[in-house]
Amino acid sequence: MNETAAPAAAGYSVVNALIDIVAAPAKALDEVKHRSRWLWWPLAISVLSFIAVFAFYYSWVDFDWMIDDLARASVPPGEDPSAVAQQMRAFMSPGVQIGMTAFGIVVMTFLIYAIQSAYLHIVNRVTGDPGIRYGQWFSFSAWTAFVGIFNAIAVLAVILMAESNQLSANDLTPLSINSLLLHAEPGETWFTWGNSLTLVHFWMLGLMALGFSRWTGSSMGKSVAVVVAPWALIFGIWALLIVL
């Protein structure tokens, strides 16, 4: 059994935690266990970072070209996409896309954190320390996901380095398994699967395993199994459906 987290240290600030979750994650995870109210900092920074990056993208991209690109991707080969593009222009605009994206980011972030926190809470109550509250696990989810801002930074880097503003949203995942390994094209069976999994997700899973071990005193092996199991199940079944 690993040693559980130490009591909160005096003088330790949320800024320290934001830096340490990247540079010294064990220390940060030990400290935030006792400071659940700090969860709004990594949560707000993460959500606002992605909203800002995609707001910039939709304001920057050649929007007429983007609609034509989406229309071409949505119709079977050989058919004229102009009618579909005209329909899209009736309800799509940069402002609408920014609003929809912001709404989706906020809702999905809270939904994912809520489900993940419930899972960790239930597993821990059954197998570990029942004294850790659900709110603490929600804070845990927010802190371990904070490294996701590096995905937002990567998206911004792609935009800034683009040769023109005719850049597809499908090209905004430079750290994804698809971009790095699979190289599937839009419409191919492995494209969405590969784009949904990035190197930063593996970093996040590592932080979760480390944190679960330190918070509950579980072995690292058990912690890895607990943390990775839902992801392996989801992406494994998804891959199996693709193969079949």
For residue range 46-103, what is the model confidence (pLDDT) as tens digits?
999 999 999 999 999 999 999 999 998 887 777 788 888 998 999 999 999 999 999 9
The reported pLDDT for the residue numbered 165 is 96
pLDDT of 6 over the 60 cut: no
Asked whether the CA dihedral 216, 43, 115, 55 is positive or negative, the reply is: negative
What integer pLDDT is reported at residue 229 of this predicted model? Answer: 97
| Whether pLDDT at 2 is above 50 | no
Q: Which long-range contacts (CB under 8 A, 24 or more apart) does 60-66 make?
A: 60/159, 60/165, 61/165, 61/166, 61/167, 62/164, 62/165, 62/166, 63/92, 63/93, 63/94, 64/89, 65/166, 66/166, 66/168, 66/169
Banded pLDDT at 20 (limits 50, 70, 90): very high
CA distance 115 to 108: 10
Query: In this predicted model, what pLDDT tens digit does every residue of 156-204 receive, in sequence order?
Result: 999 999 999 999 999 999 999 999 999 999 889 999 999 999 999 999 9
Total-model pTM? 0.91
pLDDT at 117: 97
